[in-house]
């Protein structure tokens, strides 16, 4: 009889087969300062970025970005991009290096308001987030863009972003 009760109760025992905690993923939103080589003229453009990350697996996530850069000489030349893509990341203590591949749309404002045209954009990059406590992240990011169908062989800007993000830390859901 005791053997029957022991065998019948094993279906309700889980031992350590299931995870003790899980969560849907990690998310952060941030903003940053950009210094860029626009590939249109031989000067450095400045601007800003807004970004959001959602890491749905241990090393995999998605990123969405908005960039706005422009010339400082008053000719109204600017480049604006809207991008989304995947990222691969690792964690080494407080450092979280990553690589990313993005696609999106870029809007180029030609000098002195001559034209405002949109192009498809493909981008790749790498960076590192530095964890400062539970909620604060500091980011260094480098991105290379390719604007397709841009006149004279395309546009290939390079952007360097220094930013800060708020990291959402939720309580894990226990099973």
Residue 11 DSSP label: G
Task: Specify the pLDDT at position 42.
Answer: 85
Task: Write down the domain spans for the chain.
Answer: 26-170
**C-alpha separations of 87 from 26, 47, 68 in Å:** 13, 23, 21
pLDDT on residue 99? 98
- Does domain 26-170 fall under CATH 2.40.160.20? My reply is yes
- In angstroms, the CA 71 to CA 58 distance is 40
Walking along the chain (175 residues) 10 residues at a time, the average pLDDT comes out as 48 50 80 94 94 94 97 91 98 96 96 91 98 96 95 91 91 44
User: How far apart are alpha carbons 162 and 106 in whole angstroms?
Assistant: 21
Query: How much is the pTM?
Result: 0.81
């Amino acid at each position: 009889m005791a053997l029957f009760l022991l065998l019948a109760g094993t279906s309700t025992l889980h031992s350590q087969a299931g995870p003790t905690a899980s969560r849907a993923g990690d998310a952060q939103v941030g903003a940053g300062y950009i210094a860029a080589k626009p590939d249109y003229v031989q000067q450095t453009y400045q601007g800003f970025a807004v970004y959001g990350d959602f890491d749905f697996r241990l090393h995999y996530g998605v990123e969405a970005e908005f960039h706005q850069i422009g010339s400082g000489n008053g000719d109204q030349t600017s480049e604006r991009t809207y991008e989304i893509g995947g990222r691969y990341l690792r964690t080494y203590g407080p450092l979280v290096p990553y690589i990313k591949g993005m696609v999106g749309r870029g809007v180029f404002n030609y000098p002195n308001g001559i034209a405002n045209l949109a192009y498809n954009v493909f981008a790749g990059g790498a960076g590192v987030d530095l964890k400062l406590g539970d909620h604060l992240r500091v980011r260094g990011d480098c991105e290379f863009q390719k604007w397709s169908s841009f006149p004279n062989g395309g546009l290939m800007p390079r952007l360097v972003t220094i930013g800060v993000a708020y990291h959402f830390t939720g309580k894990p859901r226990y099973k």
